[in-house]
Amino acid sequence: MSAVSSQCPEIGGHVVAKFGGTSVANFDAMNNSADIVLANKAVRVVVLSASAGITNLLVALAAGCDADKRADYLKQIHSIQYAIIDRLHESDTIRQEIDRLLENIKTLAKAASLATSAALTDELVSHGELMSTRLFTELLRQRGKDAEWFDIRKVMYTDESFGRAEPNYEQLQSLATEHLLPQLKNSLIVTQGFIGREENGRTTTLGRGGSDYTAALLGEALGLKRVDIWTDVPGIYTTDPRVVPAAQRIDKIAFDEAAEMATFGAKILHPATLFPAIRCGIPVFVGSSKNPQAGGTLVCDTTEAPPQFRAIALRQKQTLLTLHSLKMLHAQGFLAEIFTILSRHNISVDLITTSEVNVALTLDTTGSTSTNGSLLTNALMTELSTLCRVEVEEDLALVAIIGNQLSQTNGLGKKVFSVLEKFNLRMISHGASNHNLCLLVQGKDAEQIVQTLHQRLFE
């Protein structure tokens, strides 16, 4: 692991706490989260997701729908947020603020029913975080805490990749030092995860799960001592406990192992979350807002005696492209052309295998706010078809075995594949990293494969 970068600000004594959608889903959940904030004086920055269910409703509105559906979605959003407002004291001011945001949503949703766009989607979807942070700030104030609401778009400048925007770290560090750092001494800052703005002022989003990324970026920019991620499970497990009830919690895990888990589908952390933490060596703690006493997982630089097998990650909704062309045979530049086309369409490749005249590669359809899984546009397929014959397979899943020194382990194949005889393994990728062995399988078999592997490797 690389040493702490000399570019990083000096690590201070403050903590940034991020709360996910289930942690601010309703009044009681918000109150639990407020308990955590009030119990730890080191917490000076709070980053929130939208209340659970709100983002999905906003994405549905952004996709464009008829008047009846629109009215139904708007009613559901109103109901979720007003169930919180109705339990606050003296709620006239916050009521007016939420009503203004709800009216914005209504106007934007009507515009989306006429014509959708990625920029409009981001503007609409951002309202989930704008509402949750207003409500949480008011709740903290009513509990006697000097809390300040802060619009993250003042500091979180990004590029124009709506739905999956990339922050400009240099600008963030400069603006956060100017606008946020002075306030930390006197008050608690409550701000939004997931959203930012491009240079012309239009709202952007960082992709699904981007609130974790926001928290880590702020931790890095402000030189804080730790990033706390509060979610609905007490830590990171050897696999998803909903798939394998016997999954075991990992109390301490190294950055590189956790990064592999996040990249290959473990939903506890957004894949990009760990980059800022790694750059500055800031530990990340993952715990449950429902049960903070249960402990959690600490993600840090290194761990003692890391095990051969650490975890199994699962990512559904994978697409496999198989590209066939005789031009590949003893030719140079074919792959470069393919990757140039994919790059032009903002598509990143996960796994790749090649033969004499075929290239097989997997695409991840999760993550973006605005694509809704439709990566394979007509324009992309037309462009690829000029170079090769394209076959598409969907409804696949990626199972990743995460561990240490896997590419140098004797007998690994026997240990893994001997228990998977009855399953069709569509693609295998191994050797590029010491930390993973990846299997592309049929989506319908994925959970059973994870259960089988977990029993063999961990139980």
Contact 102, 95 (CB under 8 A): no
Q: Is 231 annotated as a binding residue?
A: yes
Q: Is 239 annotated as a binding residue?
A: no
β-partners of residue 315 are: 398
Alpha-carbon span 391 to 411, nearest angstrom: 34
Length of the chain in terms of residues written: 459
Helix (H, G, I), strand (E, B) or coil at 279: helix
Alpha-carbon span 231 to 20, nearest angstrom: 5
Q: Is 232 annotated as a binding residue?
A: yes
Q: Which residues of 323-354 are buried (b: 16+ CB within 10 A; e: fewer)?
A: bebeebeeeeebeeebbebbeeeebeebbbee
Q: Is 242 annotated as a binding residue?
A: yes
Alpha-carbon span 439 to 430, nearest angstrom: 9
Alpha-carbon span 301 to 441, nearest angstrom: 32
Residue 228 token pair: 């706390």
Contact 136, 30 (CB under 8 A): yes
**Whose structure tokens read 């569509």?**
426
Contacts 24+ apart (CB under 8 A), 284-287: 284/216, 284/226, 284/227, 284/228, 284/229, 284/258, 285/226, 285/227, 285/228, 285/229, 286/229, 286/231, 286/235, 286/236, 287/228, 287/229, 287/230, 287/231, 287/234, 287/235
Q: Is 334 annotated as a binding residue?
A: no
β-partners of residue 402 are: 311, 436
Alpha-carbon span 372 to 370, nearest angstrom: 6
Which residues are annotated as part of the binding site for substrate? 55, 129
Which residues are annotated as part of the binding site for ATP? 18-21, 231-232, 237, 242
Which residues are annotated as part of the binding site? 18-21, 55, 129, 231-232, 237, 242
